Amino acid sequence: MNITEDPSTSTLAARESEVRSYSRSWPTTFDRAQGSTLYNVDGKPYLDFFAGAGALNYGHNNPVLKEALLDYISSDRIIHSLDMFTEARTDFLNTFGEMILAPRNLDYRVVFPGPGGANAVEAALKLARKVTGRESVINFTNAFHGMTLGALSVTGNSLKRGGAGVPLVHATPMPFDDYFGRDYPDFFYFERLLTDTGSGLNKPAAVIVETVQGEGGINAARAEWLRGLSELCRKHDILLILDDVQMGCGRTGGFFSFEEAGIEPDMVCLSKSISGSGLPMALTLVRPQLDIWEPGEHNGTFRGIAPAFVTATEAIRTFWADDALERSTLAKGARIESRFNALSAAHPGAGLVAKGRGLARGLQFADGETAGRVAAGCFERGLLVETSGPEDEVLKLLPALTITNDELDRGLDIIESATDAALAA
Ligand SMILES: *Cc1c(COP(=O)(O)O)cnc(C)c1O
């Protein structure tokens, strides 16, 4: 087998379903990775501004997490345990409670809903309906919450919704922050529909929201908008579900992306970087009063992937004992923002807009075709960066939080030259 051939056009890709996606943007076979660098089978390095869609906030094969994992596995400890007690599970729950929840004055029960983000969302929706006895849920324009039917029903993207094959019901989209610019007061439409008995809006069980819409194009809600939403939910006795699957675990600075707004959601969904190592793990956090499930009423095989608990615990101990990571994330985010503002100023009329918070950053182009050309140009220059947004018009940066300033600058240089080339074409 000639390993240097382009796998996307070779027999290498013939066995796998057409549904594969990232391998189309990055047609090479990856082999090893360390920190913010991946190497393909020929040893060619690629700088990573994608970090597994935010599943690798602490980089690839972080040495501290890797050591904890190797220690655990090499001594025949439990790998799979359904939800039986294991030391790994108990250590994680204690560490998460003591080092993440307690210092933030948060009190949540932890549900292990299954291995992925969509599992965390499904569990939250299900419990919200059980608690309130209501069916309908409010979601927001350009939201993304996962690919299972319940999660898809609260997701905006029409291509993804179209794949469901059945009606996606019991969800009503409302305008996200800034959807109409600042032409209307916040929640102008939502609040009116809630209070008008003739509006036709069934009283919702819950509102589900992201603080920064990652898949939706790096749309960052303002802190005051989030506070307004939280107050509106409280006033109308609606549960607030915060989907922190992508923006949690330090992506925007603090461990939870909603800390900055000072709100306390009724439920929080976490996944992607919660294991720290890229191993599958998800959590649904629920206010204790809402934990009305019968034993086993929600269940699943993979809710006890102990190696994921081990790296999750080690990640919390290593990165969340002080605020050093938070401060460096904010500083690195500001570095990207100022480079993007400069790039935008260097191309007046090209419609470039810098977006985002912390190390969730976007550079919006006039259309998806241009953004796609920039992303492809980045790949040719050895940088992995994806696009998002309804037309894929936003170049989306999710580097590891542990990326060095040198690596960050090197990647930003590549984006600059790929942008110059794409706009000159
Ligand atoms: C990725 C993501 C999900 C879905 O997670 P999966 O592990 O892919 O099921 C849900 N919500 C948000 C905000 C996400 O970014």
pLDDT in tens, 42-92: 999 999 999 999 999 999 999 999 999 999 999 999 999 999 999 999 999
pLDDT in tens, 307-332: 999 999 999 999 999 999 999 999 99
Q: What pLDDT sits at residue 416?
A: 98
pLDDT in tens, 383-392: 999 999 999 9
pLDDT in tens, 160-195: 999 999 999 999 999 999 999 888 999 999 999 999
Whole-angstrom distance, CA of residue 399 vs CA of residue 175: 28
255 CB near ligand 1 (under 6 Å) = no
Pocket probe mutation, ligand 1, options 245, 247, 283, max atoms within 8 Å of Cβ: 245
312 CB near ligand 1 (under 6 Å) = no
Whether pLDDT at 6 is above 80: no
Q: What pLDDT sits at residue 12?
A: 62
Mean per-residue pLDDT, 133-147: 98
How wide is the angle at C-alpha 398 spanned by C-alphas 395 and 399, nearest 5°?
A: 120
The strand order across the sheet containing 353-357 reads: 353-357, 360-364, 394-397, 386-388
pTM assigned to the model:
0.97
CATH of 77-319, one of 3.40.640.10, 3.40.190.10, 1.10.3210.10, 3.40.50.2300: 3.40.640.10
Whether pLDDT at 7 is above 60: no
For residues 92 and 5, the model is more confident at: 92
Whether pLDDT at 4 is above 50: no
Query: Which residues touch 390 (CB under 8 Å, ≥6 apart)?
Result: 142, 156, 157, 216, 217
144 CB near ligand 1 (under 6 Å) = yes
Q: How far is the CA of 94 from the centre of ligand 1 (A)?
A: 25
For residues 18 and 3, the model is more confident at: 18
Q: What pLDDT sits at residue 26?
A: 97
Q: What pLDDT sits at residue 8?
A: 53
108 CB near ligand 1 (under 6 Å) = no
275 CB near ligand 1 (under 6 Å) = no
Query: Which residues touch 61 (CB under 8 Å, ≥6 apart)?
Result: 33, 34, 35
Whether pLDDT at 353 is above 50: yes
C-alpha distance across the termini of the chain, in Å: 36
Q: How far is the CA of 125 from the centre of ligand 1 (A)?
A: 14
pLDDT in tens, 241-257: 999 999 999 999 999 99
DSSP structural state of residue 245: T
SS percent in the chain: helix, strand, coil, step 5 = 40, 15, 45
> What are the residue ranges spanned by the domains of the chain?
7-62+323-424, 77-319
pLDDT band at residue 417 under the 50/70/90 scheme: very high
Q: How far is the CA of 360 from the centre of ligand 1 (A)?
A: 15
Tell me the average pLDDT of the chain: 96
Closest residue by Cα to residue 89 from 306, 318, 278: 306
CATH class of 7-62+323-424: alpha beta
Whether pLDDT at 137 is above 90: yes
Percent of the chain with pLDDT over 90: 95
Instruction: Tell me which residue has tokens 């993207």.
Output: 157
Whether pLDDT at 22 is above 60: yes
Pocket probe mutation, ligand 1, options 21, 56, 119, 145, max atoms within 8 Å of Cβ: 145
Which region holds residue 51: left if phi is over 0, alpha if psi is between -120 and 50, else beta?
left
pLDDT in tens, 197-255: 999 999 999 999 999 999 999 999 999 999 999 999 999 999 999 999 999 999 999 99
Q: What is the CA radius of gyration of the chain?
A: 21
Q: What pLDDT sits at residue 1?
A: 31
